[in-house]
Amino acid sequence: MKYYIGEILEVNGDMEYSTQYVFETKKDPDKYTDKVAMNWRNSDKSDWDEDHMAYWSGMSLIHDEGSKEIPKEHYEVLKNYFAVINIV
């Protein structure tokens, strides 16, 4: 199992919201974070915008800002302060 910190950027007009979260996976973390972005505001694959490289949700764009691998010890601390997202 590997441990990561991921980030979502939500753009709503002139407003931008960045949210960090932690997760663990044995799978490809890029696919994991893309799935998080797609599900962030109940989007699906049809909401993908190739020009913006993001998912549309109403009038907001949801960007997958990627992830960074972290040690298990850091994950154990951060999960007490960050959202832990489990995607099946």
Give 60-81 as a DSSP string.
Answer: EEEEEEEEEEE-HHHHHHHTTT
Q: Which domain holds residue 55?
A: 2-84
Instruction: Report whether pLDDT(14) > 90.
Output: yes
> pLDDT of 26-60, one tens digit each?
999 999 999 999 999 999 899 999 999 999 999 99
How would you class 23 by CB atoms within 10 Å of its CB: exposed for 0-12, middle for 13-18, buried for 19 or more? buried
Q: For residue 5, what pLDDT is reported? A: 97
- If one counts every other C-beta atom within 10 angstroms of the C-beta of residue 20, the result is 15
Q: Are 4 and 68 in contact (CB under 8 A)?
A: yes
Specify the pTM: 0.89
Report the domain count for the chain: 1
Q: For residue 87, what pLDDT is reported? A: 79
